[in-house]
Amino acid sequence: MIVEENNSDSVVLKIQNLTKIVGGTHQVALSDVTLEVRSGRVLGLVGDNQISRATLFRLILGLQSPDSGSLKIFHQDYSEDMNNVTSRIGFVPENIELTKNINSIEYLRLVSQLSGVRKQVAVAQIAKFSEILHFGDHLGTSIRKLKRSEARCLALIGALVHDPELLLLEEPAKDFNLGMRKVVRRLIRDLSDEGKAIIIASDDLPFLEQVTGDLAIFADGHIAFQGSVMSIKGAKDIPTVSVSFAGSVDRLESELRVHVNRGILSYRFVVDTCHIYFDPEMFLSERLRLLLDIIENSEVTLLDLRPSTVDLEDAVDGVVNNFRETRVSKLLGLRQPESHKSLDYSQIDGN
């Protein structure tokens, strides 16, 4: 489960067994997705494929209809006419393409009118968020002349002007410098503290790690993992070593590949260093013996060996790879070895 509370009143979004096939190629964007988001929580959506995340947002916004499964927003079932629901949602897409022939304040006035916000309320909201996002100087600027980061600020103000209860953000830190990333981070935290539910779809894992409490990882349209960031990073103490070596990367990789799900959860190469994640159920002596066997068989020279911590990127990669392998094994009817069952990341419980 993503959150600990059992109070069903705070559930803002509840998705059950949602499936959606998109495009002429009939690609499975979402397959049997079950997800729950509560007010005051920030959920990060990551994964190998942007289509899944984008499709999920479009389904929530009523721009697409699901093929099967149920979608409840603010306790209301999905229907063709979702205008009363979408008026309580704020959305900032990844690609900001605003109408270019008006200026910033005209744009904000237009979105306020479309959202049915009273003039005084709109003015107060615009003033508040312009100040937070340091956008006050650009309110009179033509949208055509705005830089990409400024256009993103404008879109963000536009998404907040009607005080939404659920906020959907695609790559919210994209185009921003370090200072602005900090500002956006603080804004997201403040909004979450105010009780807004926020879903962030992003590949910017360092940013996500700083703002989200929970993660949902997509792999091939499925949710491969749901849980807290801490749980995915190693609440289960996944033993990790960084190996510096000299020799053929290909040989080392082929040797490591043989041992995936046979003592090794996953591995990742960064320049001439390889991060190896071991099965937590193995003893230290077994891990060392396995590592030395791999080094010997791949005929590389060991230069350095040190324990390391799991970084989020590696953990996400591990989840996705492990999910795929498990799925392929299931599809082919292969039985997983007994010792590997506990390695399934999706079974790691964040609580």
Partner 1 sequence: MQNLIRPYFTVGLSEMREISVKPVLLTILLAQIILSVFFVAIGAIDDWMTSEPITWFVILALIPLSGIRLVILFSLSFRSRDRFMTDLILVRGISRLEYFVGKIVGIYVYFLAESLILLGAVAYFSKEFSAPEANDIELTGLLRAYIIVLAILGFGGSILSCLSASGLGTIKIPSIFFLMLCIAFPLMELAGSISVVPEAIFQSYGDIVRGVANLSLPLILLSLVSLVATVGAYRFFLRRDF
Asked if 99 touches partner 1 (CB under 8 A), the answer is yes
Asked if 76 touches partner 1 (CB under 8 A), the answer is no
Asked if 95 touches partner 1 (CB under 8 A), the answer is yes
Report, in Å, the least distance between residue 247 CB and partner 1.
49
Residues 6+ apart with CB under 8 A from 176: 149, 152, 184
Report, in Å, the least distance between residue 188 CB and partner 1.
19
Length, in residues, of the chain: 351
Alpha carbons 244 and 139: distance in angstroms, whole number: 53
Asked if 250 touches partner 1 (CB under 8 A), the answer is no
Asked if 172 touches partner 1 (CB under 8 A), the answer is no
How many residues interact with partner 1 (rule CB under 8 A)?
A: 33
Alpha carbons 123 and 127: distance in angstroms, whole number: 6
Member of 98, 139, 302, 305 binding partner 1 (CB under 8 A): 98
CA angle, 289 then 292 then 293, to 5°: 85
302 in Cβ contact with 29 (< 8 Å): no
Asked if 120 touches partner 1 (CB under 8 A), the answer is no
Asked if 53 touches partner 1 (CB under 8 A), the answer is no
Asked if 101 touches partner 1 (CB under 8 A), the answer is yes
Q: Which two tokens stand for residue 129?
A: 């968020």
Report, in Å, the least distance between residue 220 CB and partner 1.
21
Report, in Å, the least distance between residue 89 CB and partner 1.
7
Query: Which of 151, 294 has the CB closer to partner 1?
Result: 151
Alpha carbons 9 and 30: distance in angstroms, whole number: 26
Torsion of CA 105, 111, 115, 120, to 10 degrees: 0
Alpha carbons 66 and 62: distance in angstroms, whole number: 9
Member of 4, 9, 26, 81 binding partner 1 (CB under 8 A): 81
Residues 188-247 that bind partner 1 (CB under 8 A): none
Member of 115, 228, 298, 321 binding partner 1 (CB under 8 A): 115
| Chain CA centroid to CA 78, Å | 23
In 129-232, DSSP assigns E strands to 166-170, 197-201, 214-219, 222-228
> Residue 331 — φ and ψ, nearest 5°?
-65, -35
Binding mask 21-40 for partner 1 (x = CB under 8 A): -x------------------
230 in Cβ contact with 212 (< 8 Å): no
Asked if 64 touches partner 1 (CB under 8 A), the answer is yes
Q: Which stretch binds partner 1 (CB under 8 A): 90-98, 119-127, 191-199, 337-345?
A: 90-98
Write out the residues near partner 1 by the rule CB under 8 A. Answer: 22, 58, 61-65, 80-89, 91, 93, 95, 97-99, 101-102, 110-111, 113-116, 155, 162
